[in-house]
Amino acid sequence: MSQEFKLIKPNFVPPLEEGYRPAVLANRAFRAEVEASGEGVPLVLGLERADGSVSRYETQVFPEGHARAQANLFYVERLVKFLLWQRGGWKVYVGGPRSIGEHIAKVYAMGGAREFDFKFMGEDVYEHTFTVLPCDVSEVPAENETTQALGRHLDGCRIGFDLGASDRKVSAVVNGEAVYSEEVVWEPRKQTDPAYHYNEIMTALKTAASKMDRVDAIGGSSAGVYINNRPMIASLFRGIPKDRFDEVHNLFLRIRDEMGVPLEIVNDGEVTALAGSMSLEDNGVLGIALGSSEAGGYVTMDGNITGWLNELAFAPVDYSPDAPKDEWSGDSGVGALYFSQQCVFRLAPKAGIELPKDVTDAEKLKAVQEKLEAGHEGATDIWRSMGVYMGYTIAHYADFYELKHVLVLGRCTSGKGGDLIVNGANEVLNAEFPELAKQIEVQLPDEKARRVGQSIAAASLPAIM
């Protein structure tokens, strides 16, 4: 009997990626195989964050010495990777067969295949040494999750901003109505001086402030990991040298003090989900924004946010050995390569499309989208592929989130693209996962949310003291 973890070919094959092997199908097949063996043993993963909160994930694996025990290692490593980027943590408890815990400890270490994650989740985000603790199931700490209310404050004169990799947006919001909005192209990732970011953000804030009688509060969103209004890691600041990163850590605290009003900034995915929840007037919302990268955010069934990272851009969704590799994290098959302009760019050559040179990424995407609108078959296949990815990946996400709504938005969903993605996702869910199709509504933002949702949601973050 093969020791290898088995990959499953999907019934819906992306037009431009025949080798695609969805994580959800492989995981479900593995769990079914363990259950059918009648010999499964518990495996419990615990992820501890800096504030002492703990997430738990429970599953079944083959016991030590079983002919298929080797397959445990791939299954659990991919689970750990997903959970780290979904929920976050600097300490991972691996409760179950000792060989699994020892494997994870070896992989997530200096010199291991996941050295990037070791550094990122340890010193960079949680300011602890990343630790993997193999242990018995009984030694994994009890779940200790915390949630909090986010935003929904609409009183007064507020500024809402969103800092993207290609453009920065800002709105002036008075009693829940956007009275002014603007989008300005910028290139923050290439800048090595934090003064560039400071000046651009302050310019945006002052422009919005000039459209109102006063400013009572400021709320913002941006890709990256933000803890207590401090960017720990963010692609916007990728070009800043380490010896100047303290200036970035304190950037928004400085802006708050200079503006003299409450200021809150969170991950853009959280604001996406909040905007969706406010627009739908419902909870259990996962927002997936397809922009320069993939942004994820989650509003619980109770209408709160968690202390999780929800950095789904770096959570694995494709287990194919030929899956593309992310240039930043060094891992393969992660969300950003399937749900962003990065996906469009990597599939374009397969679709017979030559990307324009010496232009911004935003202009490259626009060029491919123009072909899509004109009915170009290859461009259509790019978005049809993304629809297939989305269907299988929503089913994968549903193993980790309690969902009623999935809101799909972002630059890659404009024009015909959004409908192709959502229709493709629903086709996959209805055929392959009918039980989920009945529970989860997958949709694009309605007109209300498209018009002002993100800016109003961002502006609603701080309470006015």
Query: How confident is the prediction for the chain on average, in pLDDT?
Result: 93
Considering the domain architecture, whether residues 407 and 339 belong to the same structural domain is answered as yes
What percent of the chain shows pLDDT beyond 90? 79
Segment 44-94, tens digit of pLDDT: 999 999 889 999 999 999 999 999 999 999 999 999 999 999 999 999 999
Residue with the two structure tokens 């297939």: 388
Buried b (16+ CB within 10 A) or exposed e, 439-448: ebbbbbbeee
- The range of the structural domain enclosing residue 280 comes to 146-465
Q: Phi, psi at residue 456, to the nearest 5°?
A: -70, -40
* Tokens describing residue 457: 């949601």
CATH number at residue 241: 3.30.420.40
Considering the domain architecture, whether residues 400 and 457 belong to the same structural domain is answered as yes
pLDDT beyond 60 at 451: no
- Final residue of a structural domain among 145, 178, 213: 145
Considering the domain architecture, whether residues 372 and 459 belong to the same structural domain is answered as yes
Strand partners, 267: 222
Q: Is residue 383 part of a domain?
A: yes
pTM value is: 0.90
Class of residue 147 by CB neighbours under 10 A (exposed 0-12, middle 13-18, buried 19+) = middle
Give the separation between CA 174 and CA 172, rounded to whole angstroms: 7
Q: Is residue 109 part of a domain?
A: yes
- What is the domain count for the chain? 2
Considering the domain architecture, whether residues 329 and 388 belong to the same structural domain is answered as yes
Give the separation between CA 22 and CA 453, rounded to whole angstroms: 32
Give the separation between CA 293 and CA 314, rounded to whole angstroms: 10
| Lowest mean pLDDT across 97-111, 186-200, 271-285 | 271-285
Asked whether the CA dihedral 49, 290, 202, 185 is positive or negative, the reply is positive
Give the separation between CA 194 and CA 241, rounded to whole angstroms: 10
Task: Give residue 83's pLDDT.
Answer: 98
Segment 394-433, tens digit of pLDDT: 999 999 999 999 999 888 999 999 999 999 999 999 999 9
DSSP-assigned letter for residue 403: -
- Final residue of a structural domain among 145, 165, 182: 145
Query: How many Cα neighbours within 13 Å face the side chain of 204?
Result: 26
Give the separation between CA 396 and CA 195, rounded to whole angstroms: 41
Segment 98-145, tens digit of pLDDT: 999 999 999 999 999 999 999 999 998 898 999 999 999 999 999 999
- Final residue of a structural domain among 117, 145, 173: 145
